[in-house]
Chain A
Amino acid sequence: QKEVEQDPGPLSVPEGAIVSLNCTYSNSAFQYFMWYRQYSRKGPELLMYTYSSGNKEDGRFTAQVDKSSKYISLFIRDSQPSDSATYLCAMSQWGSQGNLIFGKGTKLSVKP
């Protein structure tokens, strides 16, 4: 079993839809959770960072962490064509913050 599992998609939605992206993980020591967005041939861009459990909102983006279920989510409201990219979840544990473990990424396409 991989440490972090993420559905690769592709996921195609109409403009304005609510998008839900998810990752599951197996290592209960993970405490730091991040979502990155990566456009084609670019480096990953940090979207959201959450420490331990709970929700965090930033504009159209909401990140949720459920440590009891080892499950994290990213919601995108009012999706735009410019949101079309690959979304990567990443996580790390105390003492190894510099070692991010990534999911394989979900490719999202938002159609006008």
Chain B
Amino acid sequence: KAGVTQTPRYLIKTRGQQVTLSCSPISGHRSVSWYQQTPGQGLQFLFEYFSETQRNKGNFPGRFSGRQFSNSRSEMNVSTLELGDSALYLCASSPGTGIAEQYFGPGTRLTVT
């Protein structure tokens, strides 16, 4: 089975711009979670989607949003980028339905200048 894939792998944006990141989960997995990883804060939960519905949300500002499509693929969007948004953005998939194990993709490294 193919693993979780994320595109693009690297991205450089300017402050004030917006960005969209994409995630394709493992085939058959219906839950997708997004995390932000920085050296200072570590891995922090952004949100989780299951069957196209946001099921959980972390403590991030409204500039961070996401969605999930009927094929379980997910996108996250960050608007009005700030320098502090520079991070590794990780997507993880899970079969869902009460299963806690998550399988991570390689991440998208976003640099905001």
Contact = CB atoms under 8 A, between A and B. Distances in A.
Interface residues of B, number: 28
Contacts of A96: 56
Nearest to A92: B100
Contacts, number: 65
Contacts of B45: 99-101
Contact of A34 (B31, B44, B100): B100
Interface string B69-113: 000000000000000000000101010101111111111010000
Contacts of B109: 41
A100 B33 contact: yes
A46 B56 contact: no
Given A44-B90, A88-B43, A103-B42, A98 B33 contact: yes
Contacts of A49: 100-101
Interface in A77-91: 88, 90
Contacts of A70: none
B63 interface: no
Interface residues of A, number: 25
Interface in A3-23: none
A97 B94 contact: yes
Interface in A25-62: 32, 34, 36, 41-46, 49, 51
Contacts of A103: 42
A104 B99 contact: no
A36 B4 CA distance: 15
A43 B90 contact: yes
A100 B106 contact: no
Contacts of B92: 100
11 contacts: A32-B100, A42-B106, A43-B107, A51-B100, A97-B99, A98-B50, A98-B56, A98-B102, A99-B45, A99-B58, A100-B33
Which 6 A-B pairs give the minimum distances between C-beta atoms? A98-B48, A32-B100, A43-B104, A102-B43, A97-B100, A104-B42
